[in-house]
Amino acid sequence: MLTDPPPETLTTMMQAVRIPPFERFYVEHRSEVLRLLRHRLGVDAAEDAFQETFLRALKAYDRLEHGDHLRAWVLTIAQNVALDALRRRRPQAELVEPTAEVERPAYEQIAHLTDGLPPKERAAVVLRYGYDLDYEQIATALGSSPDAARQASSTGVRRIRRRIS
């Protein structure tokens, strides 16, 4: 006998179609994330950052609208975790811009616009306009507050406007 499942079940089922199970995503990207973090932080600090990266990803994962560009998304999170760790380690030091390979934004369409933005602003703009995440989700992914995420995104957009006008 068939009966419609409850609405929240339908939501879960539709989401399951849109984004892959986290286990598959994690297994596919964990080596690359660890490589990036070791390159940025060294072997020991990379382990904490690895865990932090995937915990942040997990917190935001069920609110993703789609499963496109997950590699860029998780590398962006890893990059921000690394930046946070470096800031804690050398609060006064000038941070080096990350390499283009790991810092490429999610959507190719906006890559040429977001290249050159400061990392936090770039991540916020990419997650807002590349992934259509709301500021609460972006805050979760970046480990900041929704207000700070909104601020970073709007500052990034203003910077882009100034550059192309």
Which residues bind to another protein, rule: CB under 8 A?
Answer: 1-6, 8-9, 12-13, 15-16, 19-24, 26, 30-32, 34-35, 38, 47, 50-51, 54-55, 58-59, 61-62
> To the nearest whole angstrom, how small is the minimum distance from the Cβ of residue 6 to another protein?
8
> To the nearest whole angstrom, how small is the minimum distance from the Cβ of residue 110 to another protein?
25
CB 126 within 8 A of CB 105: yes
> To the nearest whole angstrom, how small is the minimum distance from the Cβ of residue 100 to another protein?
20
For another protein, the closer CB: 9 or 99: 9
For another protein, the closer CB: 61 or 131: 61
For another protein, the closer CB: 22 or 116: 22
DSSP string, 89-117: H-TTSPPPPPPHHHH--S-HHHHHHHTTS
> Shortest CA distance to 117 belongs to which of 105, 109, 129?
105
For another protein, the closer CB: 27 or 95: 27
Q: Which residue has the tokens 């600090």?
A: 45
> To the nearest whole angstrom, how small is the minimum distance from the Cβ of residue 144 to another protein?
18
Q: Which residues, other chains included, contact 119 with Cβ-Cβ below 8 Å and sequence gap of 6+?
A: 79, 80, 83, 95, 97, 98, 103
For another protein, the closer CB: 55 or 95: 55
Radius of gyration (Cα) for the chain, nearest Å? 17
> To the nearest whole angstrom, how small is the minimum distance from the Cβ of residue 27 to another protein?
9
User: How far, in whole angstroms, is CA 3 from its chain's centroid?
Assistant: 39
